A and B are shown apart, each in its own frame.
Chain A
């Protein structure tokens, strides 16, 4: 039994890692990670814009984005993937690679989820910070940039890592539109072996688990640190001269 696992890994590790590259498209774990990082990297700035739009006083900005967020959150991701898969080529008339379709879908989907996280982060700061910034003469965007967002985004780091974890898991759904990711590679392996689905998919599960668990662990560690920092000086008194001025200068 254990030998099966070792043999599978020995024979197919490269396929699982990078797919058929360089003879075919890049796939496997490498593609899963590239897809997740790109998705979250693009969803992050979009989610900030969406959150700002949802908090905007202009209905023209607030209503469409609110609608988009509600629809996106209320529809299964698989529906969205299939929809993009069939509709984007219809609209554009081009043969869009499935990797790209998956990326767009994930960006929209995770952007909608992250925008709620960002919005919660902004709202939870309370009105006082915005009042203080406005009273000093900052415009709305200046107050957002220098006062509100640095705090809101910092507080939101753990939630963002969680969203990243769920993005990694969501990339597996790309399988249905033939995105050559880790799941796709594993099922290729399974198709070649035919007799060891349990072993192959257990290996797949373990790989996903290790990646997602380490990220969740990182999120929890950071969350504890943030909680401690928010708790203030009575619990964790920093020395004044040890205060990290450098990071702050970078923000300025």
Chain B
């Protein structure tokens, strides 16, 4: 086990230990071992099909793993447990999807407040107040009564971030949050993510936005063919990537 010594905190937010996952003969994840410290922003990058999305989806067990372990604040996620316990753990891990996955039959404010009401049992008024504050934070207070179908992609993704934040998670996972967006809408989503990072949120982001990675990430994991080939601070990763595959990836990006 190669737990890195350089981590600042004793109990990491997420610890991934020797995780493997295969579909039949195809190995999606190979012996992944890594940590996200509390307050840290980690960006996962790598070519498509490298297992980035699969990896991030195993962290809240939307995907099962074949072997290894993943802990969230010391709780083992992939261990046999009662459904209720898994739901509680999941409710504390915010997740933002590439395709937003807002609930189209609910208004924006109901999208954000439903889970606090239904999962955490908050009173409706309180949940609505919190939802409106969060919508204000992502700049969409005036859209509270709109329906997801009436919003642009960037607005929908900001609502999705507010919806995840409504559960007050100590950790947020982002699975290519800007990949489904028109180029002119990428900025508004990234700036919300930046402000989250500035507020000290622990974040694990799969993204192709290298500008965001450079400016905001504390650490970059470069992953290819299901393996983390490089884990480095952004300045090191972008200035002198060590692994040849990472060098090629960065060279391809510059074209």
- Which A residues lie at the B interface, using CB under 8 A? 128-129, 131-140, 142, 146-147, 150-151, 154, 229-230, 232-233, 237-238, 240-241, 243, 245, 248-249, 251-252
Query: How far, in Å, is B77 (CB) from chain A's closest CB?
Result: 13
One of A132, A229, A237, A252 near B117 (C-beta < 8 A): A252
Name the A residues within 8 Å of B60 (CB-CB).
135
Check B212 for interface membership: any CB of A closer than 8 A. no
Name the B residues within 8 Å of A241 (CB-CB).
145
- Return 16 A-B CB contacts under 8 Å, by A number: A131-B97, A135-B62, A137-B88, A137-B119, A138-B119, A139-B83, A140-B83, A151-B104, A151-B105, A240-B146, A240-B150, A241-B145, A243-B147, A245-B110, A251-B105, A252-B114
Query: How far, in Å, is A200 (CB) from chain B's closest CB?
Result: 48
Name the A residues within 8 Å of B143 (CB-CB).
240
Is the CB–CB distance between B149 and A233 below 8 Å?
yes
User: What number of B residues sit within 8 Å (CB to CB) of A?
Assistant: 39
CB closest residue in chain B, given A241: B145
Interface string of B101-136 (1 = CB under 8 A from A): 111111100100011011110001000000000000
A245 to B97, CA, bound (A): 26
CB-CB contacts below 8 Å: B61-119 with A:
62, 83-84, 87-88, 90-93, 95, 97, 99, 101-107, 110, 114-115, 117-119
Is the CB–CB distance between B103 and A132 below 8 Å?
yes
Is the CB–CB distance between A248 and B118 below 8 Å?
no
Given the interface pairs A136-B90, A139-B83, the reply to whether A238 lies near B150 with Cβ below 8 Å is yes
Name the A residues within 8 Å of B150 (CB-CB).
232-233, 237-238, 240
Name the B residues within 8 Å of A151 (CB-CB).
103-105
Interface string of B129-161 (1 = CB under 8 A from A): 000000000000011011101110000000000
One of A132, A140, A230, A243 near B97 (C-beta < 8 A): A132
Name the B residues within 8 Å of A251 (CB-CB).
105-106
